[in-house]
Amino acid sequence: MNQSDFLKVVLPFKDKVFRLAKRLLVSTEEAEDATQELYFKLWRSKEKIADYKNVEAFAMTMTKNYCYDRLKSKQASNLTLVHSNYKEKETSLDKKVEYQDSVNQVHQLIEALPENQKIIIQLRDIEQYDFDEICKMVDMKPTAVRVALSRARKTIREELIKKHNYGVS
Amino acid sequence: MELANIEKLVEKYLNAETSLQEETTLKNYFTGGNVAPHLQEYEYMFNYFATIKDEKFTKTIQLEPKKSKKRNFKWLSVAASIALLFTVFIGKPQYDEYKERKKAEKIYAQVSKGLQLLSNNLKKGEQAVAQLHTYESKVNQVLK
Of the residues B57, B68, B70, the best mutation for testing chain A's interface (the one with the most A CB atoms within 10 Å of its CB) is B57
pLDDT tens column, A8-36 = 888 888 899 999 999 888 888 888 888 99
* Lowest-pLDDT choice from A38-47, B13-22, B67-76, B124-133: B67-76
Domains of chain A: 1-85 (1.10.1740.10), 89-169 (1.10.10.10)
Whether residues B44 and A106 touch (CB distance < 8 A) is answered with yes
CB B7 within 8 A of CB B23: no
Whether residues B41 and A164 touch (CB distance < 8 A) is answered with yes
pLDDT tens column, A131-142 = 999 998 888 999
pLDDT tens column, A86-126 = 544 444 456 667 677 777 888 888 988 998 899 999 999 99
Query: What type of residue sits at position B108?
Result: Y
Asked if ipTM goes beyond 0.90, one says no
Q: Is it the case that residue A78 has pLDDT exceeding 70?
A: no
Percent of chain A residues past pLDDT 90, beyond the cut? 22
Q: Is it the case that residue A77 has pLDDT exceeding 80?
A: no
Instruction: Categorize the per-residue pLDDT at A149 as very low, low, confident or very high, splitting at 50, 70 and 90.
Output: very high
The rounded distance, in Å, linking the Cα atoms of B45 and A153 is 9
Of the residues B61, B62, B70, the best mutation for testing chain A's interface (the one with the most A CB atoms within 10 Å of its CB) is B61
Q: What is the pLDDT of residue B66?
A: 62
Determine contact: A36 vs chain B, CB below 8 A.
yes
CB A76 within 8 A of CB A47: no
* Lowest-pLDDT choice from A50-54, A90-94, A112-116, B14-18: A90-94
Q: What is the pLDDT of residue B100?
A: 94
Whether residues A35 and B65 touch (CB distance < 8 A) is answered with no
Percent of chain B residues past pLDDT 70, beyond the cut? 94
Whether residues B20 and A130 touch (CB distance < 8 A) is answered with yes
The rounded distance, in Å, linking the Cα atoms of A31 and A43 is 18
Q: What is the pLDDT of residue A41?
A: 87
Determine contact: A63 vs chain B, CB below 8 A.
no
Whether residues B16 and A149 touch (CB distance < 8 A) is answered with yes
Task: Tell me the average pLDDT across B92-110.
Answer: 94
The per-residue b/e assignment along B33-56, b for 16 or more CB within 10 angstroms, e otherwise, is eebeeebbbbbbbbbbbebbeeee
Contacts of A154 in chain B (CB under 8 A): 14
